[in-house]
Structure 1
């Protein structure tokens, strides 16, 4: 009888622990989802209290799951990166390097438009966050490497021209067009393609 009682107690204890872990995972997911929702709707620097309010949890719960807001932003970045990285890493199509760059431009329009509010929000905090600054530089290197991988040697030798291509196809240019100049998506894409075409036309023939 005692053995049966012990087994029942152990089973109930395990169920209680499983339920506690599930509630913890649920709360963490709600907190991340709240930050994504707030930033996605234009709140570029929501406070922990605001995140807790939208998530429907207590403020203490936010910092029970995350040591600080930096950790929460890190997880938000991971969610966004998982969404767009397959597009970024997919090899561009096109028979020539020029065609490949135009394909990269079109794909980046999709990626940059997806990440626009989140990247703006992270940029506001990166000067106070070593992690966000490191992640920002990592993404800059990825943007550059993705372009340079398809440039002929003669084009790479034109250092100023190669840097210009990176500027044209950068997130910062997309942010300027969409956020600062408030151009519609199609107009912003047209500007990027025009700049890219003009830059390619001035490049040395491969």
Structure 2
């Protein structure tokens, strides 16, 4: 029979341990919230010092919870993805593949608008982070696969045309319209819909 030993914990130690865990969870949440707040307000590359200041914790606390800034970016990405993934994965409405793509375009406008500052921030950092670069390529594949799943075989056979659809419906196009050209949301959305309509005009129906 195997002997199993248990460490006895006094009543006085339990709340102390629980309290430490709660403070640890609270500090971590504050750090992530500070990162989200800073990036959301336009600081696309906040320093660890700045994150600590906004979170109201010490700099050492930041790196006690996160090995490096990459890990903090990763957690920020997970929070944002959890918010928008239900919208992304919802099947588009429409009787034809064209109508479905227009619905995808409208839905992506909402999603891209929500994640705009965070994705810009991650895009800047990805050239210095293998993880962020890998995650960036994962998202591109997801976006491309989503479009491809609703295209008829004859449309997919037009490789150049299919790539064009992906460019029109990409985050980079949305960033260019909203961030670089500073178009209002509805104007940017109208540009995407027009480009999409023109691109689909010469494609087969099915």
1:172 paired with 2:172, answer yes
CA RMSD across the alignment:
0.9
What aligned pairs does 1:78-117 form with structure 2 within 5 A after superposition? 78-117=78-117
- Structure 1 residue 11 displacement after superposition: 1.0
Q: d(CA) in 1 for partners of 2:80 and 2:194? A: 29
- Structure 1 residue 202 displacement after superposition: 1.6
What aligned pairs does 1:37-116 form with structure 2 within 5 A after superposition? 37-116=37-116
What aligned pairs does 1:27-46 form with structure 2 within 5 A after superposition? 27-46=27-46
Q: d(CA) in 1 for partners of 2:199 and 2:14? A: 64
What aligned pairs does 1:130-169 form with structure 2 within 5 A after superposition? 130-169=130-169
CA deviation map 1:74-121 (0-9, x unaligned): 000000000000000000000000000000000000000000000000
Q: d(CA) in 1 for partners of 2:178 and 2:12? A: 55
Structure 1 segments (4+ residues) deviating >3 Å: none
Match of 2:5 in 1: none
Q: d(CA) in 1 for partners of 2:13 and 2:176? A: 56
> SS at 1:10's partner residue?
coil
- Structure 1 residue 72 displacement after superposition: 0.3
Structure 1: which 5+ runs fail to align? 1-6
Q: d(CA) in 2 for partners of 1:198 and 1:118? A: 30
Higher helix fraction (1 or 2): 1
Task: State how many pairs are aligned.
Answer: 199
Q: TM-score, normalised by structure 1?
A: 0.95
